[in-house]
Amino acid sequence: MNKKKPLKLDQIKDFLFSRGLTVIKKKKIIFLNKDLRSLYLTILCSIGIIMFSFVLPVILEFKNNTILASKEIENNSKSNFEKVLDGEALQKSSEIDEGLNLKNLFDDVFKFDDLPSDTVRLSASTIEQLFKETDYNLKDVRKTKLVKPVRLSLLPNEMKMIESTEKRKNLFIQIILPLIIEENNRIKLNRKKLFSILNKNHNSNAEKKWLNEKFKQYGVLNKDLSTLKVRMDTVPVSLAIAQAAKETGWGTSRFALEGNALFGQWTWSGEGIKPADADHNATHKVMKFKILKSSIRAYQRNLNTHSGYKEFRMARAALRDNRRNLDGLILATYLNKYAETGTEYVKIIKQIIKQNNLTDFDKV
């Protein structure tokens, strides 16, 4: 009996193919299916991540707005005012102006760093000519209490070469005076808005949002309105000019000319200029700024928030409560912690104010 030869695989394939059928290896199908599943899974995950990254900020923003809309920022301003009218004495809380949140403190100062670098440094002679053509002189300012809205971003490099001390001082004051007043006016407008909000029992969503921004800007903890009221205030022009004059040698220091640093503020992180006489192990630098205006804003924010100047702020608030003008000579007394020399520093600042009649500019 003859045994039939087993059919080869190729013969079976040919036979099935002639009848319109195809043979595919099972392993290949398994691997192919696995690859397709992995591909589909990867695509779905990618789509999910992309959707999540777009949707999450919208959800968070909606959540914040919902919380903001539902939460009332209460204040006792109106009830306190009524108590005063009734002759009741108000107790001042020891917790006012306590604590500091540094997270967003100088955000609006650092924003100046993002400005285009197209600032031109004018020469001293060009600036003097500009002031002459615009009839801007300190004699008229002292008399009229009005200042020209001249905004210069940099000091002239020739400050050191101006031989006349009086001429150098006048030029320095003329440059920084409008900038100081502009920053004070910005604070005054914010303070006016704050008092408008304080006179209400409830606030709108826009007012709540504005308040939350100011709480961050002034490092206020627990959304304390009393602390915000104390911190959000101006610095006397005479005091600001005197401190800038002392810290920069009337605009001649390396820190002022290279880093637009008018007030000698220190930094332990970020950009700065290392003092030439600093100890070898010293890690601090003098903060540098892109323009003079940002230096002035940082200085005001420093006085308005740092724990070392709480007495300064309390004294300023007392002057406000007694309906007295902010006096640079009085408030200078409370800046003994501004420099390592302490009370000696205060004496020098007061001397600069008196010798140069800087209080003439406090009402400009």
pLDDT digit string, tens, across residues 77-134: 445 444 433 434 444 455 677 777 777 777 777 777 666 665 788 999 999 999 999 9
Can you tell me the distance from the alpha carbon of 311 to that of 291, in angstroms, rounded to the nearest whole number? 29
Dihedral of the alpha carbons of 345, 351, 354, 356, in degrees to the nearest 10: -100
Can you tell me the distance from the alpha carbon of 284 to that of 226, in angstroms, rounded to the nearest whole number? 33
Reported confidence tier of residue 139, pLDDT bands at 50, 70, 90 = very high
pLDDT digit string, tens, across residues 308-362: 999 999 999 999 999 999 999 999 999 999 998 999 999 999 999 999 999 999 9
Percent of the chain past pLDDT 70, that is, above it, reads: 69
Instruction: Compute φ and ψ for 137, nearest 5 degrees.
Output: -140, 150
pLDDT digit string, tens, across residues 179-238: 999 999 999 999 999 999 988 888 889 999 999 999 999 999 888 889 999 999 999 999
**Is the pTM higher than 0.85?**
no
The CA distances from residue 130 to 60, 135, 137, 259, 293, in Å, are 51, 9, 11, 24, 19
Q: What domains lie within the chain, and their CATH numbers?
A: 108-116+164-361 (1.10.530.10)
pLDDT digit string, tens, across residues 66-81: 544 444 454 544 454 4
Tokens of 50: 């992309």
